[in-house]
Amino acid sequence: MSLPTVSREWHLIARPQGEPKPEDFALREVPVAEPAPGRILVRNLYMSVDPYMRGRMSQLDLDVELGHKAGIRGRMNDVKSYVPPFQLDRPMDGGAVGEVVASAAEGFEVGDHVLHGLGWREYADVNAAQATKVDASLAPLSAYLGVLGMPGLTAYAGLFEVASFKEGDSVFVSGAAGAVGSLVGQFAKIKGAARVIGSAGSDEKVTLLTEKYGFDSAFNYKNGPVAEQLKDAAPEGIDVYFDNVGGDHLEAAISSLNVHGRATLCGAIAQYNDTEPAPGPRNLVMAIGKRLRLQGILVNDHAALQPQFVKDVAGWLRSGELVADETVVEGVENATGAFLGMLRGENTGKMIVSFTG
């Protein structure tokens, strides 16, 4: 097949102040060339949009690392990150799955499907060493960006390794209808949780949590103080908290955690668009008397779990014990809209952008 001459890709053209706006991004055309030795050209079929990408848009650029002032205010702009910031007027990146259309790398053939890190574009020139073959016969290709990908491993490692979940625990999950949260709750139920509680941002999602994902109870955090709703849902307290939200959810969880409770700090989406530092939980002193363990998670620290994770989760999918929903937005031109919608909570399960149409 003949290669295309141009590809469309999304560039960050302004660092967002508060909530990102469509004007912060530009869809641009770039030339496509044959891959150099050791590289493959991939036609992206699906790409991922994830909350962590918001932080990469606001962190200080290279000028700051050189000691210059950027003149940007924002709670995340003065923090050295575990992942490099997106550069202005350059293509953004992120998880993607696609089909090899040209190969100059041993072990990769035209027609192979691969997982790689150069999303936000139609065609990706990928270093073959940074691409992983995936099998479309084992699972839908988009699943490698969700339940069998980074969100799935985050949920698995965060619950079982970081939070040291054990049978009989009571578990609270915030952002429970999202890509990670919806899996955490189901993993806990499958492994024998005494009770699983979730919070979400709409009554429809609350119904979904209890009727489809098997949560024992759920509440809409917009309907009243989180602390009060959590105490009503878990009058005997919780043993594990999986935090995707931060803010008032973390403070509520600290109050409800039992002695020797554990919290996995995965995300703080409630604060990602803040332009001033958010106050810490006012009740953090309770962690002393309760002997709580609050631990952050970065999924890359848990790569050793990958074989067991894939074995367990693939089995749960086959048996029907696990439900993995996706919200799919069609077209590269709608990728930033999908990202902004994900930040607003418009997705159920994993937010995916499809380029297959």
Which of the four pLDDT bands, split at 50, 70 and 90, describes residue 83? confident
Scanning 235-322, the segments in alpha helix (DSSP H) are 247-256, 286-289, 306-319
Q: Using CA of residue 32, residue 22, residue 179, residue 59, what is the dihedral sign?
A: positive
Share of the chain above pLDDT 90, in %: 80
Q: How far is residue 281's CA from residue 139's CA, in Å, rounded to a whole number? A: 41
Which pLDDT value is given to residue 84? 83
* Pair of tokens at residue 85: 């910031």
Question: Averaged over 190-217, what is the pLDDT?
Answer: 97
* Pair of tokens at residue 86: 């997106």
User: Which string of DSSP letters, residue by residue, matches 188-214?
Assistant: HHHTT-SEEEEEESSHHHHHHHHHTS-
Of 136 and 7, more confident: 7
CATH no. for 6-146+325-354: 3.90.180.10
Q: Give the start-to-end residue ranges of the domains of the chain.
A: 6-146+325-354, 150-301
pLDDT at 24 over 90: yes
Half-sphere CA count of 269, side-chain side, radius 13 A: 24
pLDDT at 68 over 70: no
Q: How far is residue 172's CA from residue 183's CA, in Å, rounded to a whole number? A: 12
Cβ–Cβ under 8 Å, residues 157 and 302: yes
- The pLDDT tens digits of the residues spanning 91-119 come to 999 999 999 999 999 999 999 999 999 99
**Domain 150-301, classified CATH 3.40.50.970, yes or no:** no
Phi/psi at 247 (5° precision): 55, -135
Identity of residue 344 = R
Tokens 């949780």 sit at which residue?
Answer: 193
Centre a 10 Å sphere on the Cβ of residue 33 and count the other Cβ atoms it contains: 12
Which pLDDT value is given to residue 2? 80
Q: How far is residue 161's CA from residue 130's CA, in Å, rounded to a whole number? A: 26
Which pLDDT value is given to residue 357? 72
* Pair of tokens at residue 238: 């919780």
DSSP state of 280: P
